[in-house]
Structure 1
Amino acid sequence: MKNNEVFTIGLMSGTSLDGVDLVYVKFLKNEYQDFEIIYAETIAYSIKWKQMLQNAIHFSTEELLALDITYGKYLGGLINNFINNYKIAVVDFVASHGHTILHEPEKGITLQIGSGKEIAKITKQKVVCDFRTQDVDLGGQGAPLVPVGDELLFSNYDFCLNLGGFSNVSFKKDNKRVAFDICPVNIVLNFYANKIGLEYDVSGAIASEGKINKKLLDALNSLEFYGVIAPKSLGLEWVQKEVFPLIDSLESDVSSVLSTFVEHVAIQIAKVIKDSNSVLVTGGGVFNSFLMKRVEYYSNIKIEQSSDALINYKEALIFAFLGVLKIDNQVNCLKSVTGASKDHSSGVIFLP
């Protein structure tokens, strides 16, 4: 690290399996809000990788250990290509979220694959990874982790809302940062779009033509999770157990499923951000214009769109930032957010 500048590469792979997001960021120490995303890119998954990551939830322990190493090597190769393609000269460290395979914090379980040891070996860079395990060990949800970045990088907004595989939010309440997962978004919408041969519902066009199934909408809004007080988080397991069977029992038409689920998402989000005119919204869901209109309708606000770089890469940016905090042994997990027994500096460091 030179003088006051820190140059880092951040990696993020979300539950919607769009691909691996990579960012090359410059931070100024002690003036974190003056960051610069210098380069950013998303590397789409091959069909083989997408299927493997989707099915990994059913893998044995031995298969998961092997996948952790294989995926770490894959990430290491992506990082090397990223460095070479953009002719990046200075990297102080790499911060990798990995890909979440299991997340059941109430059982003390969370697993993000992508061996930091393998990434360090292949890239010859210092690597910070495995940001969630320590928090779960301390009794926390291990999620969401982004709110520390919201607190230190985007404190000028009342709410920081992310629309990815799941929607999550963070905000200040009683002088404490509060954050939680709100509801599934793209993990469900994309699943049903896939059923009619589409990767996703572009701009929400199909959802906009469907009919709302009132019985399904009421059932979704009545799911127990929505009555639970934060901290709380969601995972694929919950969607597979609670959401998919409910939808499939009440509606078979894909356009109606998409329309009803968009309505459900908008209602749940509006409960949290209603009447605020200072909301930063990021994540792929922002490009679903039909969803955004329904969120604006129920929340009674006008949402200003931020830059595409921030919309697409905020999570990768913040995992790079969590690495900065970990390297300096500063707090990057807030007990007020995750429910852990204490604030702490989470992550594991691997040297090349």
Structure 2
Amino acid sequence: MDTSYHVIGLMSGTSLDGLDIAYFRLTYTNENWIYKILHTNTLTYSDILIESLRDAETYNALELIRLHHSYGKYIGQQVQRFVQQHEIRPDFVASHGHTIFHQPEKHVSFQLGDGAYIAANACLPVVCDFRTLDIALGGQGAPLVPIGDALLFPEYDYCINLGGIANVSFSQNDKRLAFDICACNMLLNTLANSVGNAYDNNGEMARSGSLQPDLLQQLNAPVYFTAPAPKSLGKEWVLEHSLEAIAAHKSSIPDKLHTTCHHIAFQIKQALPKLHERQHRVLLTGGGAFNLYLVELLQEYLGEQYSVEVPEPEVVSFKEALIFAFLGLLRWRGEHNCLRSVTGASQDNIGGSIYLC
């Protein structure tokens, strides 16, 4: 028999472009999972909230806990409005939260947005805190999306998300593998912000710039890029190894954007192993998939053996919210949602805390 669930997925990315709220139907039929996107919205953060999220890593313990609670309350209130607006009855909410710290080598990964406060204000059950158990088991706590990629998008050889950080997942030798590749929108949006734009529309500024070989060499230099998986990146690493190099370089913003796009495309090419002789299908999602120049450049770097495919805009924008809705569903069902082959943990695990209201 078919089994269906209705779930709200929430995602806030490192690029600080807002809170993604999406309502999905997830159905298990004929031993396969099928998804349907029903309603979506992206809530743009206020300048005050952006500043708080950006500066949270410098807060003392008391300030951070207060923000953890107040941001959870904000999320819960937005979910309640979303539910009332669309007159829906979700089974539960799955929230990734907003990452403030991710240093798994120090056993630290913290996602802002207290699940108890979300549940209390949304008046719905909440699944959250997906990373902690995996880190406790010796893993990276990231990436988390690969099991969703494998079960919801099985027709693609590679699933690449161009979010604040670019990551990839794929199957090789009957194992699902995944890792963070490099910073993406964290770099591109920071550069666009410096000239008063939220982002580089269609990559037009980047297209108008010229390549800066010395900057490209600096961006490609960190040993992380040649280190084996499992591996993941946090905001702290990006600041030290990428943003500082970009800020220090004496060139125009278009030139920096142009060079950064080459860096991203090159690192993605380096990250993709050749799986077979036929053409490889590449699913491209996340905000960076709207950057036409970056997409064209990536196809150029990968060559004809790879087909870079950008799906319909709702999937591009809300795939991460979908994946976390699905991870929450697996947690709800008591099934594995985090793979040791991806994170390096001692075992596959069922990550996530549940708050009932």
Q: CA contact under 8 A between 1:80 and 1:123: conserved in structure 2?
A: yes
Map of 2:163 onto structure 1 = 164
Q: CA contact under 8 A between 2:179 and 2:231: conserved in structure 1?
A: yes
* Residue number among 331, 335, 345 corresponding to 1:326 in the alignment: 331
Cα offset, 1:287, TM superposition: 0.6
Map of 2:252 onto structure 1 = 253
SS of 1:303 mapped into structure 2: strand
Q: Which stretch of the first structure deviates more once superposed, 128-137 or 266-275?
A: 266-275
Q: CA contact under 8 A between 2:131 and 2:141: conserved in structure 1?
A: yes
**1:299 equivalent in alignment to 2:302:** yes
Q: CA contact under 8 A between 1:76 and 1:119: conserved in structure 2?
A: yes
* Residue number among 282, 289, 298 corresponding to 2:292 in the alignment: 289
Aligned-partner Cα distance in 1 for 2:289–2:148:
19
Q: Which runs of 5+ in 1 are unaligned?
A: none
SS of 2:309 mapped into structure 1: coil
Q: Which stretch of the first structure deviates more once superposed, 302-311 or 187-196?
A: 302-311
Q: CA contact under 8 A between 2:162 and 2:285: conserved in structure 1?
A: yes
Q: Given residue 99 of structure 1, which amino acid in structure 2 is its aligned partner?
A: H
Aligned-partner Cα distance in 1 for 2:246–2:24:
41
Aligned-partner Cα distance in 2 for 1:32–1:173:
20
Map of 2:208 onto structure 1 = 209
Cα offset, 1:277, TM superposition: 3.1
Map of 2:185 onto structure 1 = 186
Aligned-partner Cα distance in 1 for 2:222–2:356:
45
Q: Which stretch of the first structure deviates more once superposed, 176-185 or 269-278?
A: 269-278
Aligned-partner Cα distance in 2 for 1:3–1:258:
48
* Residue number among 349, 352, 355 corresponding to 1:347 in the alignment: 352
Aligned-partner Cα distance in 1 for 2:307–2:109:
37
Map of 1:145 onto structure 2 = 144
Q: CA contact under 8 A between 1:271 and 1:299: conserved in structure 2?
A: no
Aligned-partner Cα distance in 2 for 1:287–1:70:
32
Aligned-partner Cα distance in 2 for 1:245–1:99:
23
- 1:85-133: CA deviation from partner (whole Å, max 9, x where unpaired): 1111x21111010110110001100000111111111111111000011
Instruction: Detail structure 1 runs of 4+ shifted over 4 Å in the superposition.
Output: none
Cα offset, 1:274, TM superposition: 7.2
Aligned-partner Cα distance in 2 for 1:32–1:302:
25
Q: 1:137 to 1:99 in 2, by over 3 A?
A: same
Map of 1:234 onto structure 2 = 233
Q: Given residue 317 of structure 1, which amino acid in structure 2 is its aligned partner?
A: L
SS of 1:65 mapped into structure 2: helix
Map of 1:117 onto structure 2 = 116
Cα offset, 1:33, TM superposition: 2.8
SS of 1:251 mapped into structure 2: coil
Q: Given residue 279 of structure 1, which amino acid in structure 2 is its aligned partner?
A: V
Q: Given residue 128 of structure 2, which amino acid in structure 1 is its aligned partner?
A: C
Q: CA contact under 8 A between 2:57 and 2:101: conserved in structure 1?
A: yes
Map of 1:53 onto structure 2 = 53
Q: Given residue 4 of structure 2, which amino acid in structure 1 is its aligned partner?
A: E
Aligned-partner Cα distance in 1 for 2:217–2:251:
17
Aligned-partner Cα distance in 2 for 1:292–1:26:
30
Aligned-partner Cα distance in 1 for 2:250–2:137:
41
Map of 2:315 onto structure 1 = 310
Q: CA contact under 8 A between 2:2 and 2:27: conserved in structure 1?
A: no
Q: CA contact under 8 A between 1:94 and 1:320: conserved in structure 2?
A: yes
Q: Given residue 312 of structure 1, which amino acid in structure 2 is its aligned partner?
A: S
Cα offset, 1:202, TM superposition: 0.6
SS of 1:205 mapped into structure 2: helix
Q: CA contact under 8 A between 2:219 and 2:241: conserved in structure 1?
A: no
Query: What RMSD over aligned residues (CA atoms) do the two structures have, in Å?
Result: 1.4
Q: Given residue 270 of structure 1, which amino acid in structure 2 is its aligned partner?
A: K
Q: CA contact under 8 A between 2:282 and 2:307: conserved in structure 1?
A: no
Q: CA contact under 8 A between 1:274 and 1:298: conserved in structure 2?
A: no
* Residue number among 335, 342, 346 corresponding to 2:340 in the alignment: 335
Q: Given residue 179 of structure 2, which amino acid in structure 1 is its aligned partner?
A: F
Q: CA contact under 8 A between 2:140 and 2:231: conserved in structure 1?
A: yes
Cα offset, 1:172, TM superposition: 0.4
Q: CA contact under 8 A between 2:134 and 2:338: conserved in structure 1?
A: yes
Q: Which stretch of the first structure deviates more once superposed, 270-279 or 339-348?
A: 270-279
Aligned-partner Cα distance in 2 for 1:199–1:57:
22
Q: 1:274 to 1:179 in 2, by over 3 A?
A: closer
Q: Given residue 63 of structure 1, which amino acid in structure 2 is its aligned partner?
A: E
Aligned length, in residue pairs: 350
SS of 1:45 mapped into structure 2: coil
Q: Given residue 328 of structure 1, which amino acid in structure 2 is its aligned partner?
A: R
- 1:185-215: CA deviation from partner (whole Å, max 9, x where unpaired): 1001111111111111111111111111101
Q: Which runs of 5+ in 2 are unaligned?
A: none
